[in-house]
């Protein structure tokens, strides 16, 4: 395989690579605590990193459509599970560990169902956008409520992170792959850049929580 000849796809692959590095940095620096919550967010970060690095391959290398479709299968599975576990993390912060453990199997099943839908309806990212929007709107309500009540350290940062993620999803849904929005950035490249900003906010929110736990 050789590098993709499209500069837009190469930029998308590069932003995917940076996104993967950033999301791997978060659990190592901020989530060294034991427990169910820390484990949940480590899985969120790890699965998102897997999706990002698979995206590097899918966007950055020349390959047949059949091989590219095969790469997107585990990528979509990782994304589906990432969003499901994000919801589990939000439920933990809202209602505690017991509630989060109860909903965990359901969210894993929903992540697998999302993957199944992408297999049955390939070549559309709108399914992911809809699933992401539902998960993030739920998380926004949870963290907005917790920030208002001031019951969770870092909830304001988490709320901001979710808002930025929703903005990224809007940008991705409103653009077209392969068509530059500016320079060599299409909707996917811009999505990755905005999402990295959201991850920084997420890291700060988790750091505030972890710092309180370590006191």
11: its two tokens: 């930029």
Contact yes or no for 168/194 (Cβ under 8 A) = yes
* 182/174 Cα distance (integer angstroms): 14
Per-residue pLDDT at 153? 94
User: What pLDDT shows up at residue 173?
Assistant: 83
Determine the pLDDT at residue 52: 97
Distance of CA 83 to the CA centre of its chain: 6
| pLDDT values of the chain reduced to their tens digit, one per residue, 215 residues | 799 999 999 999 999 999 999 998 887 666 677 889 989 999 999 999 999 999 999 999 999 999 999 999 999 999 999 999 999 999 999 999 999 999 999 999 999 998 888 888 876 667 777 888 899 999 999 999 999 999 999 999 999 999 999 999 898 888 778 788 888 999 999 999 999 999 999 999 998 888 777 55
Contact 180, 8 (CB under 8 A): yes
CA atoms of 100 and 54, how far apart (whole Å): 29
Q: Are 172 and 188 in contact (CB under 8 A)?
A: yes
Q: At what angle do helices 36-60 and 65-95 cross, to 10 degrees?
A: 160
Residues 6+ apart with CB under 8 A from 195: 19, 164, 165, 168
* Residue ranges covered by each domain of the chain: 7-214
The pLDDT, as a whole number, for residue 92 is: 98
Tell me, what DSSP letter sits at residue 96? -
- C-alpha 84/C-alpha 131 separation (Å) is 9
Residue 112: the pLDDT is 93
| Model confidence, pTM | 0.93
């Amino acid at each position: 395989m050789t590098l993709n000849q499209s500069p837009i796809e190469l930029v998308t692959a590069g932003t995917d690579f940076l996104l993967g590095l950033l999301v791997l940095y978060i659990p190592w620096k901020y989530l060294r605590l034991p427990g169910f919550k820390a484990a949940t967010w480590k899985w969120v970060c790890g699965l998102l990193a897997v999706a990002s690095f698979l995206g590097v391959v899918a966007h950055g290398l020349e390959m047949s459509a059949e091989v590219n479709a095969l790469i997107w299968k585990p990528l979509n599975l990782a994304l589906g599970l990432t969003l499901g576990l994000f919801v589990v993390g939000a439920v933990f912060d809202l209602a505690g560990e017991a509630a989060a453990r109860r909903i965990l199997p359901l969210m894993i099943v929903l992540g697998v169902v999302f993957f199944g839908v992408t297999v049955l309806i390939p070549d559309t990212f709108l399914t992911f956008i809809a699933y992401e929007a539902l998960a993030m709107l739920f998380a926004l309500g949870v963290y907005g409520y917790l920030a208002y009540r001031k019951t969770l350290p870092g909830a304001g940062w988490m709320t901001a992170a979710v808002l930025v993620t929703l903005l990224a999803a809007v940008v991705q849904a409103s653009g077209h792959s392969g068509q530059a929005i500016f320079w060599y950035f299409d909707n996917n490249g811009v999505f990755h850049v905005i999402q990295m900003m959201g991850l920084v906010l997420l890291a700060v929110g988790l750091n505030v929580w972890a710092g309180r736990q370590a006191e």
